[in-house]
Amino acid sequence: MSELLPLLMFLAVCAALMLGYPVAFTLAGVALWCAGIGILTGHFDAQLLFAYPDRVFGIMTNGTLIAVPLFVFMGVMLERSKLAEDLLENMTKACGRLPGGLAISVILVGTLLAASTGIVGATVVTMGLLSLPTMLRRGYSPELSTGLICATGTLGQIIPPSIALVLLGDILSSSYQQAQLAKGIFNAAPLSVGDLFIGAIVPGMLLVLIYLLYILAKGFFQPSQVPPSTDTAPLDLKLLCISVLPPVLLILVVLGSIISGMATPTEAAGVGATAATLLALAKRQLCLEKLKGIAQDTAKITAMVFTILLAASVFSLVFRGLGGEAMIETFFHHLPGGVYTALFVVMAVIFLLGFILDFIEITFVVVPLVAPILLAMGIDPIWLGIMIALNLQTSFLTPPFGFALFYLRGVAPDEIATRTLYRGVVPFIVMQLLVLTLVAAWPELVTWLPSVLTKQ
């Protein structure tokens, strides 16, 4: 019975979430129920629950997590500043004469928004409202149009500054320290969120390149799905530069300060939030009423993230107390093939969980349980972090609970069936898995840039 409790606990959480119960209350509620059963059966020490206040205090005093509300504020501010509208209009004129020019402009604008905001929902909704009607009106395939918008919207998961990388970096940092202490290493170099940001640049750009190549191939071999533009309006280079310059400067300020070592991710997030506010003021898109709405949205998203984090702390505490971590460690060490088989199993489990769980739930619940064990096996922490981030990116696209699908479904025309969305994202899921495979085969795609910048 004692060996089954951790497994039953995890399955109960998955079942409750699939039934639609709130994430935070599900995690904490199931954990406390299982702790009670464990106490009654003698399989859980109630004294372990007294460690929870220390965990809460650790979250409250964690300077890295301050970046979360700052990056959220920056993203919401940029969304309300109407940045995407001008950018998409001028980028479409610039790419209009290329095969699939409108789709290419969607990818480029989505990439700039991902590197500026880092919020998937905002990007998908904005691009869905602005570009989907135009793509359908110009004869683009509904499947390709919806799939492309959902996929480019998820680029905010892997392209820094990504909130997902901030959360993942904080958890992996603790896991890495735990793994090093278990090996008797007390002076290991710490892992920072900035390391993950730098490591994500090459895989993120590789994913964008593959999306672009896919659209160009569609334009050459299946032009009926991505018909060329009939718009002959001349391109105004001045307007193009004016629309492109603000997000590029914001990216350079935020990422440049992190990569150069001038600022921590938290400090860079503060600079980015301030720069986004100044940009909205310069575009005359900010008033007191809008600022109030931006602050409220930021508070809601931040409260949701931290409530889940606090609940996940209860879950992981009880799971470990019931022997779940020891069970996972024993399972991994008995797998044939050693560390590579263990990594493959973890990646497969995360991918499958992405069909039913959100990336925040997987990050807070699954990663803390498996990361210390994998890192203790000698896996590079930056490489592991980017592998997990790429894998979690697919959770936004995988039916039935892919959040990007929900976001686009909410703003898509009624004639677009839900099955059209599901069919549309399949090629992009395959492309994301292709990049994940390339990163797994060549870890240098992740580790090379951090190693070069660290030496300087």
pLDDT digits (tens, 9 = 90+) for 274-325: 988 888 888 877 888 888 998 998 898 888 888 888 888 888 888 888 888 7
Better-scored residue on pLDDT, 360 or 346: 346
Domain for residue 30, yes or no?
no
| Residue linked to tokens 């904005």 | 126
Per-residue pLDDT band for 153 (boundaries 50, 70, 90) equals: confident
Q: Looking at residue 373, what is its pLDDT?
A: 85
Per-residue pLDDT band for 243 (boundaries 50, 70, 90) equals: confident
Q: Looking at residue 1, what is its pLDDT?
A: 54
Per-residue pLDDT band for 189 (boundaries 50, 70, 90) equals: low
Per-residue pLDDT band for 9 (boundaries 50, 70, 90) equals: confident
Quick check: bond before 443 cis, omega within 30? no
**Spatial contact of 325 and 319, defined as CB atoms under 8 Å apart:** yes
Per-residue pLDDT band for 454 (boundaries 50, 70, 90) equals: low
Domain for residue 6, yes or no?
no
Which of 13-22, 46-55, 370-379 shows the lowest mean pLDDT across its residues?
13-22
In this prediction, residues 109-128 reach a mean pLDDT of 78
Domain for residue 96, yes or no?
yes
In this prediction, residues 370-379 reach a mean pLDDT of 86
Domain for residue 296, yes or no?
yes
In this prediction, residues 424-446 reach a mean pLDDT of 93
Q: Looking at residue 313, what is its pLDDT?
A: 87
Of 119, 252, 251, 197, nearest to 389 by C-alpha is 197
Domain for residue 292, yes or no?
yes
Alpha-carbon distance values, 341 to 126, 345, 363, 377, 435 (Å): 40, 6, 21, 12, 19
Domain for residue 4, yes or no?
no
- Amino acid type, 352: L
Domain for residue 8, yes or no?
no
Domain limits for position 218: 62-455
In this prediction, residues 383-389 reach a mean pLDDT of 93
Question: What is the number of structural domains in the chain?
Answer: 1
In this prediction, residues 245-257 reach a mean pLDDT of 84
Secondary structure of 283-311 in HEC code, one letter for each residue: CCCCCHHHHHHHHHHHHHHHHHHHHHHHH
What does pTM read for this prediction?
A: 0.86
Q: Looking at residue 232, what is its pLDDT?
A: 57
Domain for residue 207, yes or no?
yes
